[in-house]
Structure 1
């Protein structure tokens, strides 16, 4: 059940797909006028504001593969005053487009959960964590709670509470991306646009 539903984001050696995959760290690029690494996509503020820079790294593309840095699980409520914005009148609040996937390593000991502590227990995550396309908007209509039976949720909860450094992990989207890029060789820069 975990492998089929959760491992693409919460798999990998550190129980997250979030890792550094490429030679240059995109967070360190584009400073002092330097260009971003080829393939890095940055989200533009919404609504577009000419004077404001794009505010979030969203994905990295190499050859024909793309890995998303941010995942939207439907927990960001744009009407909630707790969702702090950098400039409410002109820009998108950080988190509106998704969040970096957290590790599940020893997750039982790291409450509260989700980006602003909406879930006090792991059980509280289930009705809040969206799944698939219907889970990316607030409030999500497709969640762990709606997709799993009570028995499956109990099994998942036991498994989550057992994850530690000795638990064999599942492959994540990050693992697939990294291994495929390594097999292909280097990431060529995208062709210049005429």
Structure 2
């Protein structure tokens, strides 16, 4: 299971600027339609359906469309992980963000440019290290995602720009659905001869 699989809805961004949404449980047609009506396109990917906004869209317009889609989904579930940076503020590159949160395997690290941002990260469990802050070892994957979501929301509410790198460079690197076979499908079993008496 991947960190994108723990919530009913996971919304994130690839490093190259795609905004993607994943629905991890069956939601009514109206929920899926709220995404497509807002301009997301559906694409099959390794056993799951991704809902996508391409990079390079006008930020304000894309942010409004993404907000409309999220509002439509809220009618069906409150179990969200909302970690996309691509529509939140102009020129959202990592070099310009006040806080950069990076997910790499089992480790989550954060760097902040201000004392107030560092204090917010500390409030959400990020511990000091020589290079910045990190979430403590031993947290479950779901708890790590929850801590990132809470910290990102708090920072955003205080007007602090955040770039969350999920360690997903491109759409093709989005993990497959749980249980999806990545290797060749086994062929049918060889026929057995009927038993004779």
- Rg bigger for which structure? 2
Q: Which has the higher helix share?
A: 2
- Asked if TM exceeds 0.5, the reply is no
TM-score class, shorter-chain normalisation, is: under 0.3
TM-score by length of 1: 0.26
Q: Which has the higher strand share?
A: 2
